[in-house]
């Protein structure tokens, strides 16, 4: 059952592993503000509208992030800012978006793309991106790292075993193939989180019935209805079901426990080095964008992401940490994540691109 299920969503692990060496330094450029507005570079950049391209719907997490970022950044930008939502990018969305801006010749920095790791990073290993969309990891570079968020391992409140990670592990080992995991199917990051958790506890992929159900909202809803036994999601989709008692939290990734859930163990509590696989949001662009243009964009979005009003809005999402990273530090995080993701994909038999 698992192999068939995995086949249904292997191609849908969504979007993009980033490594580029340009733009980690600003060179001789020093940011200049006049009346609170970041001034253009000597070459005139930017002198036209800047777009945040979201390969998803406006109400998706990336869409909300982009909208809030635009609102925060507008007072500091000398040019208009806008969002563009592309729901037609569905297979490997961020990579399709990157291929799109390259085809359109938008490689001067006027378009940046929302990017989510770790699920996005799996694309470079689970899919031959060059053949599918015509771009690879070498075609992109990070602009800024914005935040880190948590994943929750959750189970239906009415299953027969106790609501603890130890009881779940015992149930899976005693009944291989019977516990139903509600998988993502149109993303994959949280699925990587689930299987990395299971690997740590000595559970192989074929001991779980993975059923692709849709996005995190569908995963949460199906688990709350006990159509499935367990799932891993980001925090928001599971909260209504947690509040009405239809699901129980078993664990989360990360190192520190959340004040909202002091009794829920973290991956670090359970012996996972570094708190397990991490999830985050970034902006990326084409590798061909000049380094100083990337430095300018980084400065603009860093300024916006440091605004108290923006931080407060992002902090309303439980478990989310605003963590601003420069391009070099973002690349380092991507490299670390790739190592973890590669191991999980290999265990699942989904490792297509090995180098």
Burial 238-261 (b: 16+ CB within 10 A, else e): bbebbeeebbbbbbbbbeeebeeb
Q: Measure the CA–CA gap between 76 and 301, rounded to whole angstroms.
A: 9
Q: What is the pLDDT of residue 152?
A: 94
| Local structure of residue 119 (DSSP, 8 states) | G
Describe the chain by its helix, strand, coil percentages, rounded to 5.
40, 20, 40
E strands along 6-137, which residues? 33-34, 37-38, 50-54, 81-85, 111-117
Mean pLDDT by 10 residues, the chain (355 residues): 36 30 53 98 97 94 95 98 95 94 94 91 89 94 95 96 97 97 78 92 93 90 97 90 96 91 95 89 97 98 98 90 95 90 82 78
Phi, psi of 8, deg, nearest 5:
-75, -20
Fold of domain 12-149+277-348: D-Maltodextrin-Binding Protein; domain 2 (3.40.190)
> Does the fold of domain 151-274 match that of domain 12-149+277-348?
yes
From the list 164, 178, 166, 251, the residue with the least C-alpha distance to 208 is 178
In this prediction, residue 8 carries a pLDDT of: 33
**For residues 126 and 17, what is the distance between their CA atoms, to the nearest angstrom?**
11
Supply the Cα-derived Rg of the chain in whole angstroms: 20
What is the per-residue pLDDT for 22? 35
Q: For residue 17, what pLDDT is reported?
A: 29
**Per-domain boundaries in the chain:** 12-149+277-348, 151-274
H helices present in the chain, as ranges? 2-9, 61-73, 93-103, 123-126, 129-132, 165-174, 189-200, 216-224, 235-243, 291-305, 308-315, 327-348
CATH code for residues 151-274: 3.40.190.10
CA 121, CA 338: separation in Å to the nearest integer? 6
167 backbone φψ class: left, alpha, beta (φ>0; ψ -120 to 50) = alpha
The predicted pLDDT at position 30 comes to 94
CA distance 355 to 350: 14
pTM for the whole thing? 0.83
Which residues have a Cβ under 8 Å from the Cβ of 126 and sit 6 or more positions away?
A: 10, 11, 13, 188, 345, 350, 351, 352, 353
**CA separation for the pair 11, 352 (Å, rounded):** 10
Calculate helix-pair angle for 61-73, 308-315, nearest 10 degrees.
160
pLDDT number for residue 122 = 86
The whole-number pLDDT of residue 185 equals 64
Q: What residues contact residue 32 under an 8 Å CB cut-off, 6+ apart? A: 38, 39
Is there a contact between 9 and 127 (Cβ–Cβ < 8 Å)? no
């Amino acid at each position: 059952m698992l192999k068939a299920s995995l086949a249904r969503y292997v191609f849908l692990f969504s979007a993009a592993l980033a490594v580029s060496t340009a733009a980690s330094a600003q060179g001789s450029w020093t940011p200049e503000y006049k009346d609170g507005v970041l001034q253009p570079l000597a070459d005139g950049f930017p002198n036209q509208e800047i777009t945040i391209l979201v390969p998803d719907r406006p109400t998706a997490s990336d869409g909300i992030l982009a909208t809030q970022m635009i609102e925060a950044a507008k007072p500091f930008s000398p040019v208009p800012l806008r969002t563009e939502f592309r729901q037609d990018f569905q297979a490997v969305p961020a990579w399709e978006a990157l291929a799109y801006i390259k085809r359109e010749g938008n490689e001067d920095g006027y378009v940046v793309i929302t990017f989510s790791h770790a699920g996005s990073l799996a694309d470079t290993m689970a899919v031959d991106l060059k053949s599918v969309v015509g771009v690879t990891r070498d075609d992109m570079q990070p602009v800024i790292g914005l935040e880190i968020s948590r994943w929750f391992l959750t189970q239906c409140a009415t299953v027969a075993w106790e609501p603890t990670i130890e009881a779940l592990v015992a149930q899976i080992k005693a009944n291989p193939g019977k516990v139903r995991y509600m998988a993502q199917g149109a993303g994959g990051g949280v699925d990587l989180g689930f299987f990395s958790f299971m690997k740590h506890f000595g559970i192989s992929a074929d001991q779980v019935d993975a059923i692709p159900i849709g996005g995190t909202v569908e995963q949460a809803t199906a688990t709350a209805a006990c159509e499935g036994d367990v799932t891993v999601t980001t925090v928001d989709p599971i909260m209504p079901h947690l509040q009405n008692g239809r699901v129980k939290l078993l664990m989360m990734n990360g190192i520190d426990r959340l004040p909202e859930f002091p009794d829920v163990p973290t991956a670090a509590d359970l012996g996972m080095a570094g708190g397990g696989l991490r999830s985050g949001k970034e902006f990326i662009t084409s590798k061909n964008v000049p380094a100083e243009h990337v430095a300018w964009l980084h400065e603009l979005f860093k300024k916006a992401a440091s605004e108290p009003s923006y931080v407060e809005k992002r902090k309303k999402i439980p478990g989310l940490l605003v963590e601003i990273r420069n391009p070099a530090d973002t690349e380092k995080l991507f490299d670390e994540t790739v190592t973890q993701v590669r191991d999980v994909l290999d265990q699942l038999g989904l490792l297509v691109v090995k180098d």
